[in-house]
Amino acid sequence: LIALLQMLIVVAFGYFWFGVPFQGSFLFLLAAGLIYVLCTVGIGLLVSTLTRTQLTAMLLALIVTLMPSFLFSGLLFPIFTMPALLQLYAAIFPGRYFVEISRGIALKGTGIDIVWLQVAVLALYTLAVFLLASRRLKKKVA
């Protein structure tokens, strides 16, 4: 809920304060944002099943997911300019797909007909992470 609220604030500030035009469907962006938020929550759950302490979980999440996702999402550096091996590596981070989706919706006005593959990959990623986390949690509790 907090992450979705932050997304709303960022979009509102971009539009009203900085005058960034918003071309696409806000509801579609919100739906894609919800999938992305669920994906990151699932990754957090999975990391918490792999560690024993909260500090270890926070450090692992920071080192393994947050930093590489920021660098390999395409937000700072375009993915097509990276070497082929790093482009493949970038494909394992969900941030890459959400950046493509949000840029397409907000800046280009694209709909589901254009970004359906990125939405599908993000949704499958979310499902896989939640399945892995729930399976690990059952083994950890049992």
Q: Residue 34 contacts by C-beta under 8 Å, 6 or more apart in sequence?
A: 4
6-25 confidence digits (pLDDT tens): 999 999 999 999 998 899 99
Crossing angle (nearest 10°) for helices 54-61 and 26-50: 130
Better-scored residue on pLDDT, 118 or 65: 118
The number of helices, as runs of H, and strands, as runs of E, in the chain is 7, 0
Number of structural domains found in the chain: 1
Residues of the chain with pLDDT > 70: what percent?
98
User: Using 50, 70 and 90 to split pLDDT, how confident is the model at 60?
Assistant: confident
Residue 41 within a domain: yes
What range does the domain containing 77 cover? 27-137
pTM (2 decimals)? 0.88
pLDDT in tens, 98-132: 999 999 999 899 999 999 999 999 999 999 999 99
Over its C-alpha atoms, the chain yields an Rg (Å, rounded) of: 16
Is position 1 within any domain?
A: no
With respect to residue 10, please indicate whether it lies within any of the assigned structural domains.
Answer: no
CB atoms within 10 A of CB 14: 14
Q: In this structure, is residue 60 part of a structural domain?
A: yes
Residue 63 in domain: yes
